[in-house]
Structure 1
Amino acid sequence: MNRPEATIEEILGLLPDLDDLEVLRLQLVAAAVRDPGKEWDSSSAYTTIDKRIVTPEAAERALDEAEAALHEYVSALHRGLRPFLQSFFADDRDAASRHLIALGENLEGSGRLLGAQKCYRAALTVSLPLVDKGAQILALRRIGRVSVSVGDFKEAVAYYERSADLSRDSGDVPGEVIGRTGIGNVRLWQGRWNEAEACYHEALALADAAGSGAFMLERGQIYNNLGNLTTRQQRLQESEGWFERAFHVWQALTSPVDLAICHHNHAHLREAQERWDEARRGYEAALKLPIPKALRATIATDLAEWWLHEGHVTQAEELGRLAEEQAIAAGSPYTIGYMYQGRGNIARAQGDADGFTFFEKALEIAREKGYPFLEGETLLDYAALRAQNDGYEEAAAYLERAAEIFRELGAAGELERAKRSLAELRSTGELELAGESPIAAAGD
């Protein structure tokens, strides 16, 4: 007897663990749908992508699409290497290095972060003997960017610092502006806010020195980040000024992603000011823009929590599902993990113990893919759910592990959160967590 469907969990559990089948895995996840026979089952509210189903026809289409995508990937890989080899044999190391960087950018754009990182490291090696340091500076920044994406903050800041210092020594002002902004972004992720602010102001001073019309894109991104940073420091009036400058830039420059980030972070400011209706309008304005699905998933997650604050559970769940669909469509494991962390928080706010399934899935992704920051943040929030349901020992263990991860990453702000929550749990048996993921942009 033929099977009419199978769950993603079943299929992926039986596929050979080959790197070449990663595209097929993503295509199968994208092709899977909720089980219509269980839509009215109360437990369906807490199912993750593992329990979605795939029909034989959908699996066949996914296989065809994955095969075509893999062929295109192999072709693109070799197309990218052809000019590299030509430049190498022409003894043009600068061009050879830049071709490797371009290849890495292609891989990074398709979500192949570790492959991209290897290309950037190869480009760095090729560029090291060159007198002109432009390619080396760019390769260093690209390694820093990928390191941020996978949560390796110590490596990220080391490469951004090398790029900024080399830019300064080479008289490359644009490179230094972008490099110092990148350092600031890493420090923001680490919760080292004073250092982040110093980096942003160093970058801004360099941009200002070049004249009022120079570095407008970079200025706008720095304004976005300073608005976000000062909101987190509760310097709300100052934050207002930074966002005013940022919106002025985005009126003059067309950059939907940067404008969406600005709206998103501005909504956080409005929440801090308890101007809740304006915060909602900010989130909604960001979601109306043509932005990548991964960013859309993040913003939808925060808007879902806004609806929870207002006591509208149905709308929060709808936004949580939108975030899930967007994260799956983005094909980014990190985004999917972050989204499930957010859905776990929605469940926790509702007092639903079954929300543990979302946290467990986020942890599984974080550990399997090597995203330590996501693992630490998920453990922090998961601990609150466990404590809420009398699982004090488990909650304490999660917080201790989170603190260990943040200590290893050098994430001082999150480490302090974990320590404070652990002390709270031990003294009262309760803890309440709040916070959202910072979104920062560096230009490249």
Structure 2
Amino acid sequence: MSRIEATVEELLGLLPEVDELELLRLRIIGAAVPDPGKAWDSSSAYATVDKRIVSAEEVDRAVQEAEESLRSYIASLYEGLRPIFRSFYAGQKDEAALQLVALGEQMEGGGRLKGARQCYRSALAISLPLLDKGPQILALRRIGRVSLTLGDFQESGSHYERSAQLARDAGEVRGEVVARTGYANVLAWQGRWVEADARYREALALLEGLDGPVPSVERAQLFNNLGNIDTWLERLDDAERLLGQALEMWRTLSSPHDMAICYINTAHLLEQQGRFADARAAYEQAFEQPVPHALRSGISSDMAEMCLREGHLSQAEEWGRVAEEHAIRSGSVYMLGRMYQGRGNIARARRDEDGFTFFEKALEIARDKGYPFLEAETLRDYAELRRQTGGTEEAQAYLERAREIFHELGAVRNLAGVDDVLAELRLRNESLFESGPEEPEHPLAAAGD
């Protein structure tokens, strides 16, 4: 029997697991729309992108667009290889290494993160014996950057450290500043905020020793980062001062992405101060910047989390759906996973067991694409939903696996948090064993908006 539409799940099931079809998968996801026939079905509230539908016409268009994009990508890939070979045969290995970095940057910009890392590793291998350490310093930094994006904190940190050391030995102050900033970013992601703060300040001192207090992208980014760290360390007055100075610099430097990050960090600060209306305005200013859909998805997820803290569950769900639309349009599988983790937390706040579908989808993406930090955070949050719905043993297993990953990544603050929850869970189990079965927990009433 013929049909005019199919679900994303059905269509992706038709595609072999080959890398060349990854772009087509993303195009199909991007073309999908919610099933209008299930708009009033209660289960639609928990439907992931797999349950969206795509018409036959849209699939044809997706295939054509993906084929054209793949042809263009292959052509640019081989075009990028030609100058690398020419430089190599001309004895210019430093140029070959830099061209490999440029090729990796092109791939990274297109979301091909693992391919980009391979280009950077090839550049590093070529540059190792060279007297000019510039290409090696740059290749190390690029490996550090893409590894951080992939959630591989240990690899990222080690490469940033090596880059900073080489830059210092070579007298390349600006390169050392960037590498030190990158290493501090890794420490921040690991929750090692005091150490991150020290490394950011070392980088700032180096930069100001070179340029003085002159506004620059590097200086403004450091102010962004220091303001964010001060927020986490609850030095709120310092955070407000630094982020205000960063915002003034971004107004002269014209970098919408970095300005949006500054507004996001400011919103986090305002939330800590309990100024939720001002935080909402800061998020909206970030959202208004001409930034990619991936960042808009992240901003929407942050808005949803803030609504949860305020007890506005319906608003949180609305922002969760906005985050989903932008994640789909971004073509970023990582943002899809991060967004579904956030939507799972919204369902958890309602103590709604059906929210497991969001956590399961986030885990599927994290494991399939190799995003360990996302996997660990999702397991941690999923465990609480399982605990709420009576799955204590399953919750403990999720937490123990999350603990293993956080330990491997060196994410000390996350690790400590999971240890606290595990200790509480074990104490609770011991208490239940001594006193007998307890009454099931009743869901709390949802807060009104």
Do both proteins adopt the same fold according to a TM-score greater than 0.5, normalized to the shorter chain?
A: yes
Distance 2:335 2:286 in 1: 17
Aligned positions of 1:268-417 closer than 5 A: 268-417=268-417
Local SS of the residue matching 1:407? helix
Match of 1:138 in 2: 138
Distance 2:76 2:233 in 1: 45
CA contact (8 A) 2:215 2:249 kept: no
Letter in 2 for 1:276: F
Letter in 2 for 1:255: S
> What is the deviation of 1:32?
1.0
CA contact (8 A) 1:207 1:214 kept: no
> What is the deviation of 1:428?
4.3
Match of 2:433 in 1: none
Q: Report Cα offsets for 1:240-297 as digits up to 9, x if no partner.
A: 2221221121122111111111111111111111111111111111000011211111
Match of 1:50 in 2: 50
Match of 2:157 in 1: 157
| TM-score normalised by length of structure 2 | 0.93
Match of 1:64 in 2: 64
Aligned positions of 1:79-94 closer than 5 A: 79-94=79-94
Q: Percent of aligned pairs with the same residue?
A: 59
Local SS of the residue matching 1:210? helix
Distance 1:311 1:124 in 2: 50
> What is the deviation of 1:342?
0.6
Distance 1:150 1:22 in 2: 17
Distance 2:231 2:136 in 1: 35
> What is the deviation of 1:303?
0.5
Q: Report Cα offsets for 1:161-212 as digits up to 9, x if no partner.
A: 0100000000001100000000000000011112211110110110111132
CA contact (8 A) 1:383 1:396 kept: yes
> What is the deviation of 1:47?
0.5
Mean CA deviation greater in 124-133 or 282-291: 124-133
CA contact (8 A) 1:261 1:286 kept: yes
Mean CA deviation greater in 76-85 or 213-222: 213-222
Local SS of the residue matching 2:380? helix
> What is the deviation of 1:158?
0.5
Distance 2:14 2:59 in 1: 14
Match of 2:177 in 1: 177
Distance 2:368 2:311 in 1: 35
> What is the deviation of 1:90?
1.5
Match of 2:444 in 1: none
1:418 to 2:418 alignment? yes
> What is the deviation of 1:129?
2.3
> What is the deviation of 1:307?
2.4
Distance 2:215 2:119 in 1: 28
Match of 1:265 in 2: 265
Alpha-carbon distance change, 103 to 342 in structure 1, aligned in 2, over 3 angstroms: same
CA contact (8 A) 1:207 1:215 kept: no
Distance 1:286 1:427 in 2: 43
Aligned positions of 1:221-260 closer than 5 A: 221-260=221-260
Distance 2:309 2:377 in 1: 21
Distance 1:282 1:425 in 2: 37
Equivalent pairs, count:
431
Distance 2:281 2:105 in 1: 34
Distance 1:414 1:305 in 2: 18
CA contact (8 A) 2:301 2:339 kept: yes
Distance 1:249 1:427 in 2: 51
> What is the deviation of 1:86?
1.4
> What is the deviation of 1:19?
1.1
> What is the deviation of 1:311?
3.6
Alpha-carbon distance change, 111 to 47 in structure 1, aligned in 2, over 3 angstroms: same
Letter in 2 for 1:26: L
Match of 1:110 in 2: 110
Q: Report Cα offsets for 1:31-56 as digits up to 9, x if no partner.
A: 11111100111110100011111111
Distance 2:211 2:81 in 1: 40
Match of 1:195 in 2: 195
Match of 2:38 in 1: 38
Alpha-carbon distance change, 215 to 125 in structure 1, aligned in 2, over 3 angstroms: farther
Tell me, which stretches of 5 or more residues in structure 2 are unaligned? 430-439, 442-449
Tell me, which stretches of 5 or more residues in structure 1 are unaligned? 432-444
Note the aligned Cα RMSD (angstroms). Answer: 1.5
Mean CA deviation greater in 70-79 or 389-398: 389-398
Local SS of the residue matching 2:211? coil
Distance 1:178 1:391 in 2: 46
Mean CA deviation greater in 351-360 or 307-316: 307-316
Match of 2:5 in 1: 5
Distance 1:425 1:224 in 2: 37
Distance 2:210 2:298 in 1: 35
| TM-score normalised by length of structure 1 | 0.94
Match of 2:220 in 1: 220
Match of 1:167 in 2: 167
Distance 2:148 2:405 in 1: 15
Larger RCO: 1 or 2 (CA < 8 Å, sep 6+): 1
Distance 1:129 1:393 in 2: 54
